[in-house]
A and B are shown apart, each in its own frame.
Chain A
Amino acid sequence: MIRETIGRKKRRTKKAVSGTWVWFIFLLPTLLGIALFTVYPMIESFRLSFTKGAQEQYVGFENYRHVLGSGSFHQALFNTFYIAFFQLLIVIPLGFVIACLINSLRRGRNFFKVLFYIPNITSMVAAATVFLVVLHPHGLLNYALSAFGIPETIWLANPNSARWSVILLASWHALGFGIIINLANLQAISPDYYEAASIDGASRFKQWLYITIPNMLGSLTILIILGWIDGLQRFTEAFMLGGHTGSPARSLYTLVGFIYERGFGGLEYGVASAASYLLLILILAFTFINIKFFRMKI
C-alpha cells in the first residue's frame, strides 16, 4: 500500500518535471506557423487597414468609409451573395436527396460515392477551364438545352447568365462534398427508429419525412455554415470565367476579387486590408447567425 503511494508520487513528480515544456516542443511547428502566418498577419492587416500609401500614414476609418461607400464594393457584395445563395439553394437539397437515394441502396453505394465525388477532387481551375468550353455558344450546355427547344444563349456575355454560369460551376464542384457528409450522417441514424416505425406500419416515405429529416437537421446546418463560409470567399470560379474585373459588366466581381484587385492590381494595401477585415466580420457574423438560427450546439 505504502509502496503504491510512493510509486504514484514519484511518477507524478517526474511528470511535473519533464511535463509542460516537452509538449511545447511537440507543438512548436504549429505554434510557430500560427504566430508567423496567422497571428502576425492578422494584426498587421488590422494596422494596415487604418493607413494609406507607401508611407503607411494613419488615416483613421477612411479606408473603411471608402470601401463601404464604393460602388464596386456594393457590386461585389451583391454578386457574392447572389451566387452563394443560389448555389446553396441548389446544392444542399440536391445533395441531401441524392445521399438519401444512395443510402437506400443495398449494393453499389461505394460506386456511387466515388462517382459523385469525382468533380470535387479536381482543381477549380481545371473544372472552370472545362466549363469555359461547356458554356461556349457551340458547347455542351446550349446543345443539351436545344433538345428542350431553348434557344442558344451566349452564357458569358450577359451579367445574369454569367452569374448563373458561376452558380452552375460552383454547384457542380460542391455537390459531391454535400453528398458524402450527408451519407455519413444518414448512416449514423440508429436503425432501431426505422424498425420501430415499420412495425407500426409507416411507409418508407413517412419514415423519411418523420425520422430521416429531423435527424439530419444537424448535418444540414453544418453544410449551410460551411457553404456560406466558402461562398463568401468565392474567387477562383469567378476569376476564371470573368477575369480580373469579373466581366461582363462586373457581374462576376466578388468580395475576394475586390481585395485581389485593389491589393495587387492597385497596390492599395490599406483599402484591401479594410475590405479583408469586413470580409472576416461578415463571415463571423454569418456563422453566428446560422448557429443561432438553427439553434445548434457546437
Chain B
Amino acid sequence: MKTMSANARRRWADGLVAILLLLLGTILIYPFLWMVSVGFERTANVNAPFPPRLIPYDFSLFNFELVFENGHLLTAYWNSGVNAFFSVILSVSSALLGGYAFSRGRFKGKKLLFILVLATMMIPFETTLIPMFIMFNEFHLIDTRYPIILPSIINAMGILLCKQFFDQLPEGLRESAKIDGAGEFKIFFHIFLPLAGPITATLAILSFQGSWNSFVWPLVVINSQDLKTVPLLLSQFSQESGTPLMGVTMATAAVSIIPVMVVFLIMQKYIIQSIALSGLKGE
C-alpha cells in the first residue's frame, strides 16, 4: 500500500483541514465562552479567576441576578428594542420603495439619483456628526429617541439589495397588471411587495443588528439614564467598574448580546448570503 487512492488522500486532507479550522475557530470564540464562564463565577468580582478556566470553580447565578437587580439593564433593553423596532420599519420601507423605483421606474434623472444614493455610502458619518447634533438640538430633540430613529430612513445598501431583487422578477408581472389599469402603487403593493418576503427579512435582520449595536451616535445624543441603550449602558458600566467587578461586567456583556446572537443563529443563512452579496456586487 505505497500509494493511497486519490479519494482516501482527499479524505485525509479534508480531515486535517477540518481539525485545523476547528482549532482556529475555537481560539477565535474562546473569549466568548470565557465571558460566559466568568459571568457564572461567583467570586470573579473579588479575584480575577486565575488561572483562566472554562468551568467555573464556584458556579452561581449571583452575577446575573445582580445585573438585573437595579433595573437599568431592563430599561436599556426596552430602549434598544423600541429604537430598533422603529428603525427597522423606517429603513426597510424606504429601501423597498426606493429599490422598486430604481428597478422598475422610468423617469428623468434616475441614474443620477441612483449615484447620489450610492454616494451616501462613501461619506463618513463623522462628517455630518456635528451639524446633525446642532440641528436636532435646535428642534429640542437631543436626549430623545428621534435622532436615533429618524436617520435610519437612509438605507443605501438596502436600496441596492432591493433593486437587485426586483430586477430578477419578470417584467410580465407588471405588464399584465398595467393592462388591467392598475396604478404604480397598486402594482407595487399588490403584486411586488407580497413577493418580496425574503429580501424584506434580510433587510430587517441587517437593520436590526445595525441598530442594536450602534454606539457613537447614541453616545453623542443621549444623556439621561432612562434613555440609554444597551451598548451605552455596557460601555458606561465597563468604564466605571470594568475590571474591578469582572463577574458582573461579563454577565452584563453576555446578556447584552443575546438578541443579536439569537437572531443570527436562527437566520444565519439569510445574513451570510446578504453579506456575501453586498461584497460581491461592489466589484
Residues of A with Cβ closer than 8 Å to B?
Answer: 11, 15, 18-20, 22-34, 37-38, 40-42, 44-45, 48, 98, 101-102, 104-108, 112-119, 121-126, 128-134, 136, 138-140, 143, 172, 175, 177, 180-181, 183-185, 188, 218-219, 222-223, 226, 229, 232-233, 235-236, 239-240, 243, 256, 259-260, 263-264, 269, 272-273, 276-277, 279-280, 283-284, 287, 298
Contacts and interface: CB of A to CB of B under 8 A. Distances in A.
A25 to B, nearest CB: 8
A134 B31 CA distance: 7
Contacts of A107: 14
A277 B268 CA distance: 38
Contact of B120 (A19, A34, A45, A276): A34
A29 B153 contact: yes
Given A34-B116, A40-B131, A130-B35, A181 B215 contact: no
Interface stretch (B22-30, B62-70, B196-204): B22-30
A37 B128 contact: yes
A180 B272 contact: yes
A165 to B, nearest CB: 13
| Interface-central residue, B126, B153, B183, by most chain A CB under 10 Å | B126
Nearest to A125: B231
Contacts of B110: 23
Contact of B249 (A41, A113, A133, A223): A133
Contact of B129 (A32, A102, A263): A263
A279 B257 contact: no
Contact of B31 (A32, A140, A143): A140
Contact of B246 (A33, A41, A133, A181): A133
| Interface-central residue, B17, B127, B154, B282, by most chain A CB under 10 Å | B127
B178 A11 contact: yes
Nearest to A296: B283
Given A18-B183, A121-B261, A240-B238, A42 B105 contact: no
Which 5 residue pairs are nearest across A and B when measured between Cβ atoms? Answer: A184-B276, A41-B128, A181-B279, A123-B213, A26-B101
B272 A27 contact: no
Contacts of B1: none
B195 interface: no
B32 interface: yes
Contact of B272 (A18, A108, A113, A218): A113
Given A38-B120, A129-B249, A134-B31, A123 B17 contact: no
Q: What's the dominant secondary structure at chain A's contact region?
A: helix
Q: What's the dominant secondary structure at chain B's contact region?
A: helix
A33 B151 contact: yes
B4 interface: no
B126 A276 contact: yes
Contacts, number: 290
Contacts of A181: 275-276, 279-280
Nearest to B109: A20
Contacts of B135: 40-41, 44
Contacts of B51: 143
A135 B125 CA distance: 30
Interface string B143-175: 000000011011100010000000000000000
B216 interface: yes
Interface in B1-23: 10, 13-14, 17-18, 20-21
23 contacts: A23-B105, A38-B154, A44-B131, A48-B130, A48-B131, A104-B14, A105-B18, A106-B10, A117-B275, A118-B264, A126-B231, A129-B253, A132-B243, A133-B35, A136-B243, A140-B34, A175-B28, A180-B275, A180-B279, A219-B283, A259-B129, A272-B130, A276-B124
A223 B30 CA distance: 26
A126 B52 contact: no
Interface string B129-142: 11111110000000
A176 to B, nearest CB: 8
Contacts of B123: 38, 42, 280
A133 B250 contact: yes
Contacts of B128: 37-38, 41-42, 45
A184 B279 contact: yes
A251 B28 CA distance: 26
Given A19-B107, A236-B215, A280-B127, A119 B276 contact: no
Nearest to A187: B276
Contacts of B94: 29-30, 33
A116 B13 CA distance: 20
Given A30-B98, A33-B154, A283-B124, A131 B25 contact: no
Contacts of A25: 185
Contact of B126 (A177, A226, A243, A259): A259
B127 A276 contact: yes
Given A20-B108, A34-B154, A222 B98 contact: no
A130 B220 CA distance: 23
A279 B250 contact: no
Given A130-B34, A133-B38, 10 more contacts: A24-B107, A31-B113, A32-B153, A34-B154, A106-B10, A108-B18, A126-B257, A132-B238, A132-B249, A140-B30
B33 to A, nearest CB: 10
Contacts of B257: 122-123, 126
